[in-house]
Amino acid sequence: MLTRIPAVASAAAAVVPRGSDHVLMAAVVLKDTAAPFDEDAALAYCARELPAYMRPRRIRPLADLPLTENGKVDRAQLARLVTTPDPRGPTDTHPMLRSPQ
């Protein structure tokens, strides 16, 4: 679904434990890494197009999706990447994970 957004080249999601619950987190690889990524617009798109249980809580842009030796998305590594703060800190072009509003 996220790959229907024009700026997104590829996307993947992972279920991440959060306290006694689990949340869906997503990562996207942008077609133009220099272009801004509007997480709020992407989340709003998901809210319009997906049932509640399929909506990611947050969406983080990554340079590449982590892959296993077999070329499949490494969901465990993806979960770590989407929950680890970006060492560059928040920026206008690639916002950090934010709390849902």
What proportion of the chain, given as a percentage, has pLDDT over 90? 64
pLDDT attached to residue 33: 83
Quickly tell me which residue has 């617009």 as its tokens. 41
- How would CATH label the architecture of 2-83? 2-Layer Sandwich (3.30)
pLDDT attached to residue 101: 39
> What mean pLDDT do residues 20-47 have?
91
> What mean pLDDT do residues 41-66 have?
94
pLDDT attached to residue 19: 82
- pTM of whole model > 0.85? no
The full set of domain ranges for the chain reads 2-83
Cα separation of 30 and 62, whole Å?
Answer: 8
Residue 56 CB partners (closer than 8 Å, separation 6+): 2, 13, 24, 25, 26, 43, 46
| The pLDDT of residue 57 is above 50 | yes
Cα separation of 94 and 71, whole Å?
Answer: 26
